[in-house]
Structure 1
Amino acid sequence: MPPTSRPNQFSLLRQRRFAPFFWTQFFGAFNDNVFKTALLTILTYDALSWTSMDPGFLTNLIPGLFILPFVLFSATSGQLADKFEKSRIVRYVKVFEIAVMSLAAIGWMTHSLWLLISAIVGMGLHSTIFGPVKYAYLPQQLQKDELVGGNGVIEMGTFVGILLGEILGAVLVVHKSWGLELVAGGTLFIAIIGLLSSLRIPLTPAPEPALKINWNPITETARNLRFSRQNRPVFLAMMGNSWFWFYGAIMLAQFPLYAKNYLHGDHSVFVLLLTIFSLGVGSGSLLCERLSGNKVEIGLVPFGSIGLSVFGFDLFLASLGYTNTATVDFIGFFALHGSTRILFDCLMIGLFGGLYIVPLFAVIQTRCDAAHLSRTIAGMNILNALFMVVAALLAMILLKAGLTIPQIFMVTAILNAIVAIYIFSVVPEYLVRFMAWILIHTIHRIRTVDINRIPEEGAAVLVCNHVSYVDAIVIMAASPRPIRFVMDHQIFKIPVLAWLFRNSKAIPIAPFKEDAVLMEKAFADIAAALEDGDLVCIFPEGKLTRNGEMNLFRNGIGRIVERTPVPVIPMALRGLWGSIWTRGEGKSFGRSFKRGPLSLLELVVGKAVGPIDATPEYLQQQVQTLRGEWK
């Protein structure tokens, strides 16, 4: 049976519920970076014309000032986004952006550095107010299976906007005759385009219009973070998101001086580094939908984190092998020994950053209380800001201590590895999903049929044929929701897999004659899981097939639904028989290699069966029909 076709994520760009909002946020990110990069470029390459302050200090100070409003006003912004209709908030924000760019234009024309720095703070406030609206808008306008793709397109658009803004800002400001005028007029013009785009954003009702706003940012921030901590998966996703901005803030803040003083490049080399990095983030963000199978796949988060450390550390090593001392433009840089490796590392850091960040946003959007989503996003923005401030301080301390910029890259990569190990040991669900994802995407290709029949919420029992030692992992990787698996206690104890099963909260069971106590405990655990609204999956055959044919279903399912009447959903695995993971005659490796690499398998989901009709005989008939002749 062919997989159900669905629109490409880019089809959202033709729909009013998404396109005007996309372009509004795109032009906002674009304008932020035209302005910010122009200022950083002029301070890096023409500092003496503007100030006597140390350029290294300023290139870390300015990003810190940009995010200062996130610390001070995010709590208020989150309340506004929950209380008021979102399209109206966006239009007010765009009008404010025009005012800030008018102030900046005066700063450019009068050569006033502190007026420009004030505008940096103003654009930070603009982004602070827009942030909670940005990520709370998507779940209101998109279907759940569109969220990963929608977030990917938004992140791609954001980083393409950042990229183009950085290029344009760096190019315009160094124009010999009209650089400052071009930046002043260009940023004002872009702000006006953003306002025009916002006029077509559809009405998006407030989730909590009766909310009474607490104008005290300190108490509201504390209340937001306390509320978020109650939802552990959401809070840890927030912390992971904030760590990404810590990592990115340190890395990107070094690029201007890294390009000038270490790579000995002109401003075009700085632009090239930003271009490659941004292309990487955009590519990684778009890859998320394909790699996740249109669902929220948190297994991509450890994958992204590994890439951030590996390629961050390799950027340090690549920098050691770079020996050029003559000033070059980006064309000359391309021709130098070691430049390709540096650019590849920047590309991969961006790509794995995209794979890391998009699933975390989707986790927050799907697992958070909808009425509190904007305030949760605001709480995350506060954490982001605090992490970025610490990043700026750490970078300044490391530079003051005498570390080179490549050494700062090395320290950041090592810190990322330490944080990743800690987070994934505290929340093993991420690592469990990662290992399941790796198995399915390296040895097999999995295709799902009618996977939407697995309910998005509420308790249900899933029943499936038992073909291999990795049936649970395959189903886990394909399911849009976490599942509690019931499995034979002997399989539960298999080395390596045991760690996976234990940390995914699998329930071991034994035959009554073998361990009556463990059997009774298993049924009690199943009932408790169903009472909590979880999905529970059992393999009613009770043992692996030895010939590819299904064994008789046992009556355990009857005991389960009699104690806790819930829907039962039949499923069938097809294509696993004969793989290395199955029992059967002959050597397992030989059988597996005959199938070839990335062999196809399917998980077919049937219609829900009521608890009264869920007899072992009827369910076996349903699973057998779903499986068909393909073993």
Structure 2
Amino acid sequence: MPHPDPVRLLSRRFLPYFLTQALGAFNDNAFRFSVMFMLTYRISTDESVNVDVLMNLAAGLFILPFLLFSPMAGHLTDRVDQARLARILKGTELALMCLAGVGFWLQSVPLLLALVFLMGTQSAWFGPLKYAIMPRHIPADHLMRANGWVTASTFVAILGGTLTGGLLAAAGEMAALWASLVVIAVAIAGVIAARLIPAAPALDTVSSPAGPIRSWYLNWRLLRRQPAALHQAMWLISWFWFVGAGYLTQFPRFSREWLGLGADGATGLLALFALSIGAGGLAVGYLSSGRPRLGLAPFASLGVAVAALDWYLAASVVGQSPSLLRIGLDIAATGFFAGMLVVPLYSYLQTRTTASRRARIIALLNVQNALAMVVSSLLGMVLFAWFDIQLPTFFLLFGGSGLLVSLMLWWKWRGLRPGSAGARGHP
């Protein structure tokens, strides 16, 4: 009798986890952008407040915990029941969101910024668990589909949380109340979903507890012993977040300055990009044989580069308005190829790491991803401030880096054949 597909949305082994991580991603962004919009449009009326400084501080406070605490979080995640840890972390999120309600009501900048840091810390602790627990309940030949759904839900949640944060912060005198109710309600739903995740007992019963500094040392020593193909998969995932962070940051400005679109139009392009990533992830998950391979990576990264080139050409036509349809297709193609790239990579990482050490490897990947997004932001500031580049050139440089990635992968994998000793771990 064939085994039922455990990735159907109503499966007990998938649905509670799926909802838990999706609701968490939504709340992260809804809360963070509620704070940032409120700082911009309401608290900024205080002339003693430097809004630009506060906005950058809020962004930095959210990403900093991923650099500080991810290794320790990965170390702990391998040593405890991961379903129980999920319930603890979701309970922590609920407590933080209740405090956020107080911060919104009082419009307390110090309290809200402190909570941004604490929510980043909660997310940093949940990050290793998010991908480490999936292979505990999902068979290996279904991981591609599961990761396709998780990738799609993550970007839909990012988009939904961002839009919700903006709408709540613009709700006038009722903004504080509505923002509080939404983030608390979503946190409660996450707590309920986490309670239904099946048990995932500890796999590492040997390692001793490790603090922030020792966990960094132990995890990096573990990473050095991993095969080269695993390192390549991790760097490719970080490249995905590097490019994605740069694109998402500049979409609103590009929509306004180059396409003449209002806020709704910019939102539409953001939605198109996010949904296209999800569509690419789902497509590769369902069209593949279920076995994650790195062989798609050179083609997917090349696809991102080709789309970036056509995007640049379409936006740089002299004397004509850029074709919205053509640029929309380029954005959709970029997202689709990016989704095709990242889903097999995460699946490969999950299947090629030892189960008792998987969370620690994913934790280090989260550190890399955080650094990639920081570098993306810094590079964007340098390109615009020092080199005075135009936005189409920015997208060409960021997306066009996919050509270098593709050539590098083909050069590294040249001559490798499936089944050969040198091809182990490669396509």
Q: Please, what TM-score do these two structures have when normalized by structure 2? A: 0.89
Question: Is residue 388 from structure 1 mapped to residue 324 from structure 2 by the alignment?
Answer: no
CA distance in 1, matches of 2:42, 2:183: 21
Question: Pairwise mapping of residues 180-259 of structure 1 onto structure 2 (< 5 A)?
Answer: 180-217=176-213, 219-230=214-225, 231-259=227-255
Instruction: Encode CA deviations 1:247-285: one digit per residue, 9 max, x unaligned.
Output: 111111223333445444443233222211111111011
Counterpart for residue 419 of structure 1: 405
Question: Pairwise mapping of residues 130-169 of structure 1 onto structure 2 (< 5 A)?
Answer: 130-169=126-165
Question: Pairwise mapping of residues 302-317 of structure 1 onto structure 2 (< 5 A)?
Answer: 302-317=298-313
Question: Is residue 484 from structure 1 mapped to residue 420 from structure 2 by the alignment?
Answer: yes
CA distance in 2, matches of 1:233, 1:264: 44
Shift of 1:427: 4.2
Distance verdict in 2 for CA 1:277–1:9, change over 3 Å = farther
CA distance in 2, matches of 1:339, 1:114: 42
Distance verdict in 2 for CA 1:342–1:43, change over 3 Å = farther
The answer (yes or no) to whether the contact 1:304–1:356 under 8 Å persists in 2 is yes
**SS, match of residue 362 in structure 1:** helix
Question: Pairwise mapping of residues 373-452 of structure 1 onto structure 2 (< 5 A)?
Answer: 373-401=358-386, 402-428=388-414
One-letter amino acid of the structure 2 residue matched with residue 252 of structure 1: L
Counterpart for residue 367 of structure 1: 352
The answer (yes or no) to whether the contact 2:65–2:117 under 8 Å persists in 1 is yes
Instruction: Encode CA deviations 1:463-500: one digit per residue, 9 max, x unaligned.
Output: xxxxxxxxxxxxx8xxxxx4139xxxxxxxxxxxxxxx
CA distance in 2, matches of 1:40, 1:265: 22
CA distance in 1, matches of 2:43, 2:165: 16
The answer (yes or no) to whether the contact 1:93–1:126 under 8 Å persists in 2 is yes
One-letter amino acid of the structure 2 residue matched with residue 243 of structure 1: W
Distance verdict in 2 for CA 1:103–1:35, change over 3 Å = same
Shift of 1:43: 5.8
The answer (yes or no) to whether the contact 1:170–1:271 under 8 Å persists in 2 is no
Question: Pairwise mapping of residues 206-355 of structure 1 onto structure 2 (< 5 A)?
Answer: 206-217=202-213, 219-230=214-225, 231-321=227-317, 338-355=323-340
CA distance in 2, matches of 1:295, 1:104: 43
CA distance in 2, matches of 1:316, 1:120: 36
Instruction: Encode CA deviations 1:366-406: one digit per residue, 9 max, x unaligned.
Output: 11122111111111111111222211211222222223333
Shift of 1:162: 1.9
Shift of 1:37: 3.2
Distance verdict in 2 for CA 1:278–1:205, change over 3 Å = same
CA distance in 2, matches of 1:107, 1:425: 53
The answer (yes or no) to whether the contact 1:44–1:256 under 8 Å persists in 2 is no
Instruction: Encode CA deviations 1:272-330: one digit per residue, 9 max, x unaligned.
Output: 22211111111011011233222213222222211222223333333335989xxxxxx
Question: Pairwise mapping of residues 503-542 of structure 1 onto structure 2 (< 5 A)?
Answer: 504=423
CA distance in 2, matches of 1:116, 1:109: 10
Distance verdict in 2 for CA 1:234–1:320, change over 3 Å = same
Shift of 1:83: 0.5
Shift of 1:201: 0.7
Mean Cα displacement is larger for which, 40-49 or 254-263? Answer: 40-49
Question: Is residue 175 from structure 1 mapped to residue 171 from structure 2 by the alignment?
Answer: yes
CA distance in 1, matches of 2:99, 2:286: 43
CA distance in 2, matches of 1:111, 1:22: 33
**SS, match of residue 201 in structure 1:** coil
Distance verdict in 2 for CA 1:59–1:391, change over 3 Å = farther
> Over aligned residue pairs, what C-alpha RMSD do you find?
2.9
Counterpart for residue 113 of structure 2: 117
One-letter amino acid of the structure 2 residue matched with residue 376 of structure 1: I
**Of 5, 10, 20, which residue of structure 2 is paired with 1:14?**
10
CA distance in 2, matches of 1:58, 1:248: 23
**SS, match of residue 237 in structure 1:** helix
Instruction: Encode CA deviations 1:578-612: one digit per residue, 9 max, x unaligned.
Output: xxxxxxxxxxxxxxxxxxxxxxxxxxxxxxxxxxx
Instruction: Encode CA deviations 1:194-239: one digit per residue, 9 max, x unaligned.
Output: 111111111101111332022033x422432332232222121111
Counterpart for residue 123 of structure 2: 127
Higher helix share: 2
CA distance in 1, matches of 2:39, 2:129: 33
Instruction: Encode CA deviations 1:126-150: one digit per residue, 9 max, x unaligned.
Output: 2111111111111111111111111
CA distance in 2, matches of 1:178, 1:152: 37
Gaps of 5+ in 1: 325-335, 433-475, 477-481, 486-502, 506-533, 535-631
Instruction: Encode CA deviations 1:412-452: one digit per residue, 9 max, x unaligned.
Output: 123332233224423448xx6xxxxxxxxxxxxxxxxxxxx
CA distance in 1, matches of 2:173, 2:259: 27
CA distance in 2, matches of 1:205, 1:220: 21
Counterpart for residue 97 of structure 1: 93
One-letter amino acid of the structure 1 residue matched with residue 158 of structure 2: I
CA distance in 1, matches of 2:64, 2:365: 14
CA distance in 1, matches of 2:176, 2:115: 15
Mean Cα displacement is larger for which, 87-96 or 44-53? Answer: 44-53
CA distance in 2, matches of 1:50, 1:391: 31
One-letter amino acid of the structure 2 residue matched with residue 411 of structure 1: L
Distance verdict in 2 for CA 1:79–1:87, change over 3 Å = same
CA distance in 1, matches of 2:356, 2:264: 46
Distance verdict in 2 for CA 1:271–1:186, change over 3 Å = same
Task: With a CA cutoff of 8 Å and minimum separation of 6, indicate the structure with the bigger relative contact order.
Answer: 2
Distance verdict in 2 for CA 1:100–1:262, change over 3 Å = farther
CA distance in 1, matches of 2:152, 2:144: 12
CA distance in 2, matches of 1:311, 1:177: 44
**SS, match of residue 420 in structure 2:** strand
Distance verdict in 2 for CA 1:106–1:256, change over 3 Å = farther
One-letter amino acid of the structure 2 residue matched with residue 203 of structure 1: A
Higher strand share: 1
**SS, match of residue 232 in structure 2:** helix
**SS, match of residue 203 in structure 1:** coil
Shift of 1:113: 3.8
Distance verdict in 2 for CA 1:344–1:192, change over 3 Å = same
